[in-house]
Structure 1
């Protein structure tokens, strides 16, 4: 199963219903014929793995995956386990970095080539690529007689952890970690497992299975680096490590016959916090966040209360403080933990994310904390429920138009409101009532409804959306996607342009070019440092397009720009070939839902969604190594 076939399988699982080969081809950046060939390969691969599920082809309808009961979880697990195999170049890069940081040297290109079973020229090309990537994290790779990763020790460890966490855990366990844990004998690995079990008993709750393996990976890296002579002499947090970590320090020294500094235990404690971000209710109840995390959560809650006129519920504050503490620890350790919900938060729920960000991005303590983008998205995810409770997002008045029995009318109204809190059915009308109201001068429809929903197309000029009698989740998504219709039947339209933007080869070059163009066109007026912070924190990479939506201070007028990125001589800018930006003036904050829906429609119509794009968040912003 190659990367394109894996992406097709994932798309089929997400779609559920029939879609044509052409639709999948546009989504994956290939031809209809290639999609049909990949379907045959997928069905053969599923049969070899013992699955009864298969991809069904129906003339006139398209493709759909037929999942046998009890096999869906196995399918998702199979896809996750195969991720590293689907991207062999990234697997090779991970193996190279582990060799350079966690195996005895000296290292040379020749030795690395023999270890990787590659030719020297390919390894040299990889090493030059690594130079640029490491520089973004404040590290460097010396390419003299011997190869060496140089920089602060805690940064090197955080970098390696971030690299490993960019892949699904099963793929890393099976394909990459054996080269790391191979330096430890089975007795040592069992000892580290006992240490993790003792830590859980000391904390009073169990880690999730994912948190256990993440923390186990760090323990392996820590022990390996100390054995190689790279021990921490100092750590940013001068607090005493605590009784348990003092006890663990002595155990590690005795077992491995090595000196473990207090700084190592300080970083180990912070890494424990980093790796326990998957919380059960019992874990949250038992845990007490630090004073700094609580103070930051209080500052956020105060800002939200001032902005929306309602306090943040007490039961949200502790999860918020725990997420902040984990995010602060990850920032201190240089550990980027991918957030699988980041695109759903920043893109699918763009209006809510923009509204929250217009407040959060003005909290000085949060800006100073400079959380990684995935951790910032975790805060938004927790606070979406607050927006619902205070009614901050616009609720649309829907007129349900029926030509059916009372059962379907009541069912439709119930389902619409049940499946979306953003829609309120204010009245149920017949087609004749709508036609008569629309024919009268000064029709009251515009005063009563934002738009109409019907089971059959309406022959009226008033904004309307047609759905199926099933009133399924897909129908509700169709309604939401049509939300640019609002306020007395008027459609919100935003001026937009598509342009070519010359950029530099690095993210900083891209950010500087975006800032300069938006300032020159009179859309924004803010310092470049502020704009770069917003980009690093709020943006999302969708397919091959960098997407940013911002509403708040520094925006002079609302507008949309979609840029095709070009380096010198017309070359593309690494993995991202386009950038899409929506900036909303504070005065237009009430129109965020129609503005963001219209923006996403333009992104989907005009942005670059070509090619099978992997889910490796660590690599997605960097140039393709091959």
Structure 2
């Protein structure tokens, strides 16, 4: 169980009434979607271990845990014991890593066993896991008979591992070092040194054109403190002479030099040129902040200060992304500047081997799947230009910039344009306009028209709806017929129409792209690549895709997991191997591991859609499905492929159709 799962269970066990998902999300500092996924995971855990305890959900009310008090008390006791055991083991492993990375001489198994009051076999088990952790940084655990155990590797790898250890020991949620956190790492880094270094970095930050993020300030503080520790121990960073000379030409080197001088005065240690170069690398790779304080500055002046390579990459990237999303992205100066600043830092990080972990990666992939797929598909083109691979952690940061711009555009465009048609005079039409404007902020009155001028006004304003005091028919634009004085029931009618058009129809694209012949129920596979092969081969037999589609889908899967939450994965391959658009579904007989997640439904997306709005809608519907617990529950028990698809259709009729009929009764044509 995840730590968050345990916390959620404890919250539910402590509550005596229903608790809303929103409240639980607030208490555990995560999204409501995460809570819903966690509840499903806890359902499985309880059904296996505590079958007499269930989590009950009530729409619009919340969730509550049901069961005998004795059973709930036993679960609470078991949780405490499990937490204590896991906490003890995790704490011991971190302490072992700390010893291995801070000791400058080998330590024996006997010494470690005596220090932690456990047996040597238990230490050996811990070391096997720790060895894999060290290898991820390029470090090797050396065991020397009669001497002991020690870590070996490059100085940069050693420092990166130490930095990650500090992250594991402290809580970086707020990117500050308080007294409690400093206490946790005092035997790794000296608290007073960290405090002094952070203070000097924040003073230097005032001179930067674009300030460092809080995350970057703390990260840079830790890296410099580690450098000082290693210098004192006699270890120096190795930077090639040519690289150092190149770094010394950059303005960031001068800042690093000033920073080093200030630190030397406080800490009484000589920081050599190579270490200043190392600080420069981290400054170049630090994430910078572009916020509203910059908006007052001249945009064109800001653009002249941008790194030209990053600027050209971003311009091309935005252009390519806009072809798949919204062309207005090309005019978004905030996106251009913010993403260029980010890419400038990213290029420096990647070229100098300074890896960054994105703590939001999993959530970004699940919540913004469509823009993530678009950006990921364009990354090889960028990689070719910069001659360095871009990991998905960095891709996810780019997606955040794109998503923010798309939401800005959507916010600007969310008003519904209306034309008022009135034949009784300007007084009446102005009354209608005033009433509608006051009642519905989402409605923008584009014009007030007479019947004679209506076609001319429609051509000029391109409205979404006509609100008319006379009966009208229009082939493409909906018409709401009202009386001149707009009584309350007609205002209610308009409100219902606005709600309907603002809320997209559920699963419209999925219904269009699904076919009973491509619904495979209770398939038995052992891993994700076997699942991809199975569905792709079936689609190939039916003529939807070419033979190489499955291979391209597996290559895509190897780049980044297509798990989106809710027990759903959405593998897909290249469009060149697709003959006809289809969404195939495999419901697995039992969940399989999908890169660390449990998957029950595999939706293979093979589409040749040209309309970006349709593609975006398809991915939005799949994201909606991943959160639709009732729908997934029903799909889990369907007996046939026809029943599976019919349930999508019944959702449409039940939720949308009745509402449309109800509104039409009021007089919407």
| Structure 1 residues 378 and 185, CA gap change in structure 2 (3 angstroms) | closer
Q: Is the 8 A contact 2:140 2:152 kept in 1?
A: yes
1:191 and 2:205 are equivalent in the alignment? no
Unaligned 5+ residue runs, structure 2? 12-19, 65-82, 419-432, 445-462, 479-492, 634-669
Q: Could you tell me which residue of structure 1 aligns to residue 40 of structure 2? A: 26
1:244 and 2:255 are equivalent in the alignment? yes
CA–CA distance in 1 between the matches of 2:500 and 2:103? 54
CA deviation map 1:573-605 (0-9, x unaligned): 783343856444344664324432453466556
Q: Which of 323, 335, 338 is equivalent to 2:358?
A: 338
Q: Which of 390, 407, 412 is equivalent to 1:371?
A: 390
1:347 and 2:348 are equivalent in the alignment? no
Q: Which of 300, 303, 311 is equivalent to 1:294?
A: 311
CA deviation map 1:43-95 (0-9, x unaligned): xxxxxxxxxxxxxx999975479xxxxxxxxxxxxxxxxxx999735554444
1:575 and 2:596 are equivalent in the alignment? yes
1:99 and 2:94 are equivalent in the alignment? no
1:485 and 2:516 are equivalent in the alignment? no
CA–CA distance in 2 between the matches of 1:397 and 1:320? 30
Q: CA deviation at 1:376?
A: 1.2
CA–CA distance in 1 between the matches of 2:342 and 2:32? 39
Q: CA deviation at 1:318?
A: 1.5
Q: Could you tell me which residue of structure 1 aligns to residue 159 of structure 2? A: 157
CA deviation map 1:471-514 (0-9, x unaligned): 99xx899945x432269xx74426454644445xxxxxx7x767
Q: Could you tell me which residue of structure 1 aligns to residue 488 of structure 2? A: none
Which structure dedicates a bigger proportion of its chain to helix?
2
| Structure 1 residues 530 and 317, CA gap change in structure 2 (3 angstroms) | farther
CA–CA distance in 1 between the matches of 2:269 and 2:387? 37
Q: Could you tell me which residue of structure 2 aligns to residue 271 of structure 1? A: 282
Q: Could you tell me which residue of structure 2 aligns to residue 220 of structure 1? A: 225
Q: Could you tell me which residue of structure 2 aligns to residue 123 of structure 1? A: 123
Q: Could you tell me which residue of structure 1 aligns to residue 5 of structure 2? A: 4
State the secondary structure of the residue aligned to 2:236. coil
| Structure 1 residues 135 and 514, CA gap change in structure 2 (3 angstroms) | farther
RMSD across aligned positions (CA): 5.9
Does 281-290 or 144-153 show the bigger shift? 281-290
Q: Could you tell me which residue of structure 2 aligns to residue 618 of structure 1? A: none
| Structure 1 residues 261 and 326, CA gap change in structure 2 (3 angstroms) | same
Equivalent residues in 2 for 1:326-475 (5 A)? 326-331=345-350, 332-340=352-360, 342-359=361-378, 362-365=381-384, 368-384=387-403, 386-387=405-406, 426=465
| Structure 1 residues 577 and 229, CA gap change in structure 2 (3 angstroms) | farther
1:316 and 2:335 are equivalent in the alignment? yes
Q: Which of 574, 582, 585 is equivalent to 2:607?
A: 585
CA deviation map 1:279-326 (0-9, x unaligned): 544479789553432232233134346666563433321211111123
CA–CA distance in 2 between the matches of 1:513 and 1:344? 26
CA–CA distance in 1 between the matches of 2:234 and 2:632? 49
CA–CA distance in 1 between the matches of 2:116 and 2:345? 35
| Structure 1 residues 339 and 15, CA gap change in structure 2 (3 angstroms) | closer
State the secondary structure of the residue aligned to 2:239. coil
| Structure 1 residues 87 and 356, CA gap change in structure 2 (3 angstroms) | same
| Structure 1 residues 542 and 479, CA gap change in structure 2 (3 angstroms) | same
Higher relative contact order, chain-length normalized (CA < 8 Å, sep 6+): 1
Q: Is the 8 A contact 1:526 1:554 kept in 2?
A: yes
Q: Is the 8 A contact 1:304 1:312 kept in 2?
A: no
Larger radius of gyration: 2
CA deviation map 1:212-259 (0-9, x unaligned): 322222222222233344422126954234223234445556765666
- Matched length: 518
Q: Is the 8 A contact 2:260 2:271 kept in 1?
A: yes
Does 598-607 or 236-245 show the bigger shift? 598-607
